[in-house]
Chains A and B, each alone.
Chain A
């Protein structure tokens, strides 16, 4: 009892844990302590810790201790360079190596601050990926005051300082990412959101500029959607083709690019520049990934300043951060897309109803016209009319039939969007279809890949069946000589929602690039008899289910259709 009371009375600030905790969270205090410890350990007169300002390429004196230093003297800036006379610290920041200066009077890098300084020792603070974060510098009134042993001791202390700095950066980044994630979830306006991402990316990565390109599928180009600096006026105008320039390369290959300067890189095209190419010292771009594909490219760059040494490149850690940002953005964009689709789904129903009513009315009129025309023809046939008049009657009749064909297409299209929604075991539907087709076409090899757990969706079983069989039918059509059709059904989670993902891939000729944009458009092709509903109607059915369908195959390698549908929890029993 008494012991417990004693423990409680002891202030928390005195506890060892608290001290440890405040030491690692209070970076400033820790760096100051390291500096003081350094002076004592190597018996130095005075010392500084300077940190790299990545934007300007300068080394800034942040902490100083020892004889003759005052607060005002802090904040000194030195250009980071190997040129002489810019301070020893500046040279160490450039080289990334410890530096022992036995006699300042003979040293080319020395920059005089105190008249009594005779010798110096400077070690770099090296962060993850070999990046120089700053320099720990000590000096003495004696010549040749520091040797290898002192350098070792100082390096050890410098590594603690570097660790503390990395940790602080990490915490800042983490906090910013959490903040951003909150904003991404809450911001309804997509453009504000894109702006925010570029802003956060520039800040966290000490980048001079950040630009975001998103893929516009209708023109198949990457379009600049947000930028921080010079490119701001080009938003909506600057575009890259897939594969064009570094930005296009990143999108096409779905791979990041991280380089030291851009001049000389064969991929670089420099169509739209935040900076002059020779001013760019570091460039990094990562793909913004969606569920099925690359949605865009997020790129950052740093101005050259004098930071040309390799450790001023963007680090692996920076790349991870940019990826994290890009992934968050990808998820936000998908979510936006999801909402848009829901909206579309509700409107399809309304438009469908309107279209059905209109088709009905037009159909009635056409029916009446056909009748009137027929009677007219009969009455005219009693008179002796020239052949040209008969031909005219014929053309009117043919035109009416064409209207009826169009109406029939329209009706099929509208019907596809009128759903009778029920829980459907998609696995069962897919399995049955594949079995049926495999039996009917023994010359084609069918492969069915499915999760053991059945996948359920809320849908119209007949419509889904006809959509899927239309796709298989299409593949079969192009595999007259045999080949392979792979059907894969899996369940995946995206933006917090479970999705059924159905892939149908064949080894046929594939869809020509120039046709890809049009294949889902209604009335694009005059459908061949017996070819089923056509891809427009397949898309109509999938859209009405709140799903997506895309063709992602390459010409010459076969067609590849990906369907996603919102999944539901599996129902009891196997029947749908």
Chain B
């Protein structure tokens, strides 16, 4: 199962997401701010598989900063952005910059926690596929390098 970082300045929300994802067997860390999240991402070893982050915390663009830090640490880390009212535009911007998906926190009549759990599952699969592809590329690269070496 995955190593996941949940970032939200709302303690209740953080805990609820943590509980929900732990139920699916994930190992969940939490951070209460953009700064704390960036610090945890930097020092994580191995890197997180998935980062679930709120969009608006210290600033309108906190989610974007967390995304940057995550991709800097491991380009294959999948980031899911959570948005409350009015921050969808910023979330879309995050998608352009490499976030895996975004999720609106308040969809009337929808169990967004289940939806989030589903998205995390997909993100894990996506990461696994990407890692698989990367591994094949590396193997291929090694093979090519070995072949080419005598010629150099």
Contact = CB atoms under 8 A, between A and B. Distances in A.
A375 B13 CA distance: 12
A364 B15 contact: no
Contact of A359 (B15, B86, B108): B86
A549 B13 CA distance: 42
A576 B23 CA distance: 53
Given A356-B85, A372-B15, A363 B20 contact: no
A371 B15 CA distance: 8
Interface in B12-30: 12-13, 15-17, 19-20, 23
A175 interface: no
Interface residues of A, number: 26
B75 interface: no
Interface in A356-413: 356, 359-361, 363-372, 374-375, 378, 401-402, 404-405, 407-408, 411
Interface string B54-82: 10100000000000000000000000001
9 contacts: A360-B87, A363-B105, A364-B84, A370-B112, A371-B15, A375-B19, A401-B109, A407-B106, A408-B85
Given A356-B85, A360-B56, A360-B85, A372 B106 contact: no
B106 A366 contact: yes
A369 B12 contact: yes
Interface string A467-504: 00000000000000000000000000000000000000
B143 interface: no
A371 B16 contact: yes
Say which size band chain B's interface belongs to.
20 to 34
Interface string B84-120: 1111000000000000000001111101110000000
Contacts of B39: none
B108 A408 contact: yes
A152 to B, nearest CB: 88
B10 interface: yes
A172 to B, nearest CB: 62
B106 A367 contact: yes
A366 B54 CA distance: 14
Given A374-B111, A375-B20, A408-B108, A365 B85 contact: no
A364 B111 CA distance: 15
Given A404-B106, A404-B107, A367 B56 contact: no
Nearest to A410: B85
Contact of A360 (B17, B23, B84, B108): B84
Contacts of B20: 371, 374-375
Interface in A338-372: 356, 359-361, 363-372
B113 A364 contact: no
A361 B54 CA distance: 12
B15 A411 contact: no
Contact of A411 (B56, B82, B85): B85
Contact of A364 (B10, B19, B107, B109): B10
A360 B111 CA distance: 19
Contacts of B105: 363-364, 366-367
B108 A405 contact: yes
Contacts of B84: 360-361, 363-364, 367
Nearest to B12: A368
Nearest to B56: A360
Interface string B109-145: 1011100000000000000000000000000000000
